[in-house]
Amino acid sequence: MLCKHYKDALIEAAAPGVTPQRELRAHLAECASCREALAQEQSLFAAIDSGLHAVADMKVPPSLLPRVRAAVDEVAVAPPRWGSTWFALSGAAVAVALVLAGGIRHNDPRTPPTNTATIRPPVEQVIPGRRTPLSSAGLEREDLIPRLPVSVAGNSSSPGGLASSKSMPEVLVPRDQEVLLARYAQQWSSHKRAPLVAQGADEVSVKPLEVAPIQIAQLDVKLLTEDGSK
């Protein structure tokens, strides 16, 4: 009967991080039965906690990201952002391939990242419907679904800009991440590590078109004679 008095106290005391109160401690010191009961109650809480972790810490299936992305694409009924539908579709196809490759690599920490995209600093894309930049403490839409590296028509002032934008995918970043991205890109270029896509592009040797010098026949300049004008 005496031990029943401690039933609630034993239950409370079994929760992790809880120290038994002085009265209970004194009773536990002289009652083996309650010590055993406390130990059992503690093992119950441990079992509950490990069961809860099993419930709560499930691994996210890798199929979720492509599914979400497909769902987002489906609802994105806004006017095509990048010119023709064909252009958008082909860009998306390339990007999905890149992201899928990136997703597989993500599971293997030994594999270095090779998901390649290009950027032309300073990035000055003007995209219809683009949101206003968020503060650095805020969330980016890319935090939700990482943006696919898609080609966009940048307003590069370089004469070679158009040609290279067609051969290389570009990455769009939020305005407040542009500096970081450019710095990251700068590191890569300074390491002289040719990435996957760029390798293929570099191997194509582009020779300037050679045109034979213009042949101009010697002109036979004759003075007008007095006889001819008359």
Q: Which does 184 bind (CB under 5 to 8 A by kind): Zn ion, another protein, none?
A: another protein
Question: 133, 199, 136: which is closest to 172 by C-alpha?
Answer: 133
Task: Please tell me the distance from the alpha carbon of residue 84 to that of residue 12, in angstroms, as a whole number.
Answer: 67
What backbone torsions phi and psi does residue 170 show, to the nearest 5 degrees?
-120, 160
The answer to the question of residue 21 lying near another protein (CB under 8 A) is no
Residue 172 or 227: the one with the smaller Cβ distance to another protein is: 172
Residue 192 falls in which region: left (phi positive, over 0), alpha (psi -120 to 50) or beta: left
Restricting to residues 34-53, which ones interact with Zn ion according to CB under 5 A? 34
List the interface residues with another protein, window 55-84 (CB under 8 A): 55-58, 60-61, 63-65, 67-68, 71-72, 75
CB-wise, 11 or 88, nearer to another protein?
Answer: 11
CA distance 43 to 90: 58
Residue span 127-166 as binding mask against another protein, x where in contact by CB under 8 A, dash where not: ----x--xx-xxxxxxxxxxx-x------xxx--x--x--
Q: Smallest gap, in angstroms, from Cβ of residue 57 to Zn ion? A: 37
**Which of 11, 88, 96, 153 is the binder for another protein (CB under 8 A)?**
11
Rounded to a whole number of angstroms, the minimum distance from the CB of residue 153 to another protein is 15
DSSP string, 157-178: -STTHHHHHHHS-B----GGGH
